Structure 1
Amino acid sequence: MGEPEAHERGRDRAEAGTDKAPDTERRPGPWRRGLVLAVCALLLGLLLLLHDHLTDRAGLGSLVETFLPWCGLFVPVLLAAALWRRSASAVVALLLPAFAWVSLFGGLLLDKSEAGGDLTVVTHNVAAENTDPAGTARQLARSGADLLALEELSDEARGTYEKELAQAYPHHTVQGTVGLWSKLPLSDTRPVDVLRGNVGPAAQKRQREHPEQVPVDPPRALRTTVATKKGPLAVYVAHLGSVRVMPRGGFWTQSRDAGATKLAQAVADEQLERVVVLGDLNGTTDDRALSGLTSRLTSAQADAGDGFGFSWPAAFPMARIDQILVRGLDPKSAWVLPETGSDHLPVGARLSW
């Protein structure tokens, strides 16, 4: 082989080597890979930490806060993507949402229940369309609750519940669509007005235009005094307005929000030291709409439960919207009861003076 040819081949190999070198140099390192994943992780962490600053326009804040615990599922998803991309920056960024989620909800994963207690309470939205109210009533009676609050009682099913629960609960009161069955005497019972704004925008327009055609809605909340061996106890049973997804209006919460404000005011005005609020509040304790209640009352599930205690929907519970809130009492344990045929699960708690 001649010298010119050898020189040409050497030059070709050198050029080939220099062609590969830039590809290697252009390949980003682990701290520069997956920057989009890192940004997503940081945004998730900020959402968890600053959710109360999120706008509530079109009910966005309430919607996010209702399902806030489920945001934790994005952490392992993002982590898997970060490991696949071999992105060190994304892995480090995920520490923020992981820390935020554990700070907010980690305590709920622990079993905080204790033995003892003076009073067992259960609340259940029995569902107006429940096809087996008798079976539901018998199942609830077997819970052994001293106080049993029922919401969404229909006129057709009311007699069935009264008949099936009469033996276990000698005292009861029904105000509109809510009722309280008790093993202890009741007194000073009255309805609580939580109905303002309890209809959608279209119905509100009809109310303004034709008020004479608007039917009077039955009460959806009550207040009564329970005579216990350790003194009087004020009990509120409530079913706040529903939340709805409107095609153009977003997450509509006006009914629920207005009712929560009025219920919170009633509790604030309550003269008795010990108070229990039972019912379907159509909101979680993380939801800002219930802050008027949660700032004055303690959640039995948060203080003495085991897990999140999701109660709705019964087929696949995703949120705790059925609440037991107390003042002047110490929750000892809290739990979710088995399905009854309603679209909600019953929830119970054991309370102590």
Structure 2
Amino acid sequence: MAQAYMTETGGGGTGQGREQSRLRRLLARLFGGWRGDRRIWRRGIVVAVLAVLVALLMVLHAQVPNAVGNLGSLTETFLPWLGVAIPLLLVLALVRRSATALVVLLLPTVVWLNLFGGLVTSKSGSGGDFTVVTHNVNADNADPSGTARDVAASGADVVALEELTETEVPVYEKALEATYKYHEVVGTVGLWSKYRMSDTKAVDIKLGWERAMRSTVATPDGPVAVYVAHLPSVRVKLEAGFTARQRDKSANALGEAIADEPIERVALLGDLNGTMNDRALNAVTAQMRSTQGAAGSGFGFSWPASFPMARIDQIMVRGMEPTASWTLPQTGSDHLPVAARVTIDTSRS
């Protein structure tokens, strides 16, 4: 007969027995006195109501209006963080000794897991023949040369950089020239490639200055249309709320440009100043696939670099299959670089 392995302790008991004793004491502290207490179903109604509201906000986030302070987009930008409310409400339910609140808490838990549970575990796989990186290098970066070297060390076939300044472009060009034979800079965005580039041009995103571009990259498996974009920043102001009107206008223009792209295999790299959940980016996200969502490791938050809370730096593809997506170590920027590896579908042209 098989017996459980138990370690003797200096106190004359067993390690297994002491662990069980600790667990019983913990459970007794949490649930002691619950039995026979008829009020456990009447207490904690406020906590239960809050749990229902959190669940409804996650389920109906698309119904939160943008008319006042763009609250809808603000909610969707930080939507995964609503899950933080669940353990907080759990503690309150235990403190209140409320069976009702504990049962109702299952609702937001199930909703959050349904929305984001798939992002908790890694979906990264092996394979892939085309690796890309995008990085908002920050105009105030104190070490552009080091940032360029860090990005080049990723081994990416193509690197997109955003928020380039006129004075620092030569620094990036010099630091990257040994790894990337081809490159183009349009306004404040640039693309570096190991493969020949052609048909490079600015993309009009209705700003009045150039912050988006496209280029055809001649990979060994055929041409890929690569777009680089840095959409306008959003702001949170007390008097105006979450202001993103120009960002939304530019997103629509970018979406139109990508929709008109004649090459079937398309990659979009850049700082979109919005997450995949943000309805304001639908013109782009509705026609492309997020590499992080399809093959990422975790949430892939990229901003701010010191304590990432949202993924506003995106890699999206069309006509290619994502196999892995991840963030790179922090550089001198306030954003983390993000990378992805995809398999090019050779049946498309």
Q: Secondary structure at the match of 2:226?
A: strand
> Does residue 256 of structure 1 match 2:247?
yes
Per the alignment, residue 218 of structure 1 pairs with 209
Distance in 1 (alpha carbons) for counterparts of 2:78 and 2:41: 32
Distance in 1 (alpha carbons) for counterparts of 2:284 and 2:83: 26
Which of 97, 104, 109 matches 1:86? 97
Which of 41, 57, 62 matches 1:52? 62
**Residue correspondences, number:** 307
Distance in 2 (alpha carbons) for counterparts of 1:29 and 1:312: 46
Distance in 2 (alpha carbons) for counterparts of 1:139 and 1:82: 47
Q: Give CA-to-partner distance per residue, 1:277-297, whole Å, 9 cap, x none.
A: 000000000111111211110
Per the alignment, residue 294 of structure 1 pairs with 285
Contact in 2 for aligned 1:122/1:148 (Cα 8 Å): yes
For residue 83 of structure 1, report the CA deviation from its aligned partner. 1.1
Q: Give CA-to-partner distance per residue, 1:95-116, whole Å, 9 cap, x none.
A: 1110110000000011111111
Q: Secondary structure at the match of 1:161?
A: helix
Q: Give CA-to-partner distance per residue, 1:242-298, whole Å, 9 cap, x none.
A: 001223111101111111111111111111110000000000001111112111100
Per the alignment, residue 116 of structure 2 pairs with 105
Q: Give CA-to-partner distance per residue, 1:10-32, whole Å, 9 cap, x none.
A: xxxxxxxxxxxxxxxxx971111
> Does residue 191 of structure 1 match 2:202?
yes
Q: In angstroms, what is the RMSD of aligned CA positions?
A: 1.0
- Structure 1 length-normalised TM: 0.85
Q: Tell me the amino acid that sits aligned with residue 125 of structure 2.
A: E
Matches within 5 A, 1:1-353: 29-57=39-67, 58-196=69-207, 217-353=208-344
Contact in 2 for aligned 1:313/1:344 (Cα 8 Å): yes
Q: Tell me the amino acid that sits aligned with residue 38 of structure 1.
A: A
For residue 70 of structure 1, report the CA deviation from its aligned partner. 0.6
**Highest CA radius of gyration, 1 or 2?**
1
For residue 193 of structure 1, report the CA deviation from its aligned partner. 1.1
Q: Secondary structure at the match of 2:206?
A: coil
Q: Secondary structure at the match of 1:29?
A: helix
- Which residues of structure 1 form unaligned runs of 5+? 1-26, 197-216
Per the alignment, residue 6 of structure 1 pairs with none
Q: Secondary structure at the match of 1:187?
A: strand
Q: Tell me the amino acid that sits aligned with residue 190 of structure 2.
A: G
Q: Tell me the amino acid that sits aligned with residue 99 of structure 1.
A: V
Per the alignment, residue 21 of structure 1 pairs with none
For residue 195 of structure 1, report the CA deviation from its aligned partner. 3.3
Q: Tell me the amino acid that sits aligned with residue 329 of structure 1.
A: M
- Which residues of structure 2 form unaligned runs of 5+? 1-36, 345-349
Q: Give CA-to-partner distance per residue, 1:13-72, whole Å, 9 cap, x none.
A: xxxxxxxxxxxxxx9711111111111000000001110111112110111111111110
Q: Secondary structure at the match of 1:107?
A: helix
Distance in 1 (alpha carbons) for counterparts of 2:71 and 2:47: 24
Stretch deviating more after TM superposition (55-64 or 177-186): 55-64
Distance in 2 (alpha carbons) for counterparts of 1:138 and 1:341: 11
- Structure 2 length-normalised TM: 0.86
Distance in 1 (alpha carbons) for counterparts of 2:46 and 2:238: 32
Per the alignment, residue 32 of structure 2 pairs with none
